[in-house]
Each structure stands twice: as structure tokens, then as C-alpha cells.
Amino acid sequence: MTATERAIALTQVAARAADDKQGDDLVALDVSGPLPLTDVFLLVTGRNERNVQAIAAEIEDRMIEAGAKPLRREGRAEGRWILLDFGDIVVHVFHEEERLFYSLERLWKDCPTIPLTLGEHPVDA
């Protein structure tokens, strides 16, 4: 199975929002094969708690504008790992330390990456 076109389009929206708030190390993983509940994980790193919160808020605003309904939000108060669940896509916004510690890329290494385009520049996975 592969991620739906809608999930990929929403991933691009979320990635551009994260990039606009200086999110780093963006990685999109197609998890539709092993996970029946979602198609894409988008992983983003923020420099500090405030940056993590700003990235998550911008992503949520842009996704709502794009017609995606937030189903669940977790970790906003702490600003260390914020999870935003939009059904087709789940966004993980990490503080640098949490990103390294939990290493979701390693856990989902068998899943293909989805190319991202931020502004005019493609992001290599």
C-alpha cells in the first residue's frame, strides 16, 4: 500500500508550514503499509520549546486552512514532542534531544520516504 494523494498533498502543506517557522531536518515517511490508521508520519525538529510550539501551531493553522481536521493533539504544553494527528497524516514536532532519543526514523527505517518540496527547493530524504 502507498500513501494517498491527499495524504501526500497535506504532507507538503505541513512541511511548508514547518519550514516557514524554521523547522529543521524534515522527514516524511510513508507508513501506510504497516499502519492501517494513517498514511504519513512527518518528523520535524525545533531548536527549543518555544520553536517547537510555534512550528506545531503554524502546522495546525495551515492544515485547517487546507481542510484537514485535527483529531488529536498531545504534548503542546511541554514543547518537547508535540504530536498532531490529522487522520491521513501524523506530524511529530520534536525538540532536538527528543528527536535523537526516540529516533523514529530508525524505528520506521523500512518505510519509504516521501520527497518534500519547500519553496522552490526539493528536500532530499
Q: Which residues pair with 116 in a beta bridge?
A: 123
pTM: 0.92
Q: What is the pLDDT of residues 45-54, one digit of tens each?
A: 999 999 999 9
Q: Is the pLDDT of residue 1 over 90?
A: no
| Mean pLDDT value across the chain | 93
Looking at per-residue pLDDT, the higher value among 120 and 75 belongs to: 75
Structural domains of the chain sorted by starting position, each given as residue range(s) with its CATH number in brackets: 5-123 (3.30.460.10)
Residue 69 burial (10 A CB sphere; 0-12, 13-18, 19+)? exposed
pLDDT at 124 (0 to 100): 56
Summarize pLDDT for 63-86 with one digit per residue, the tens.
999 999 999 999 988 899 999 999
Dihedral (Cα; 83, 124, 9, 4), 10-degree rounding: -90
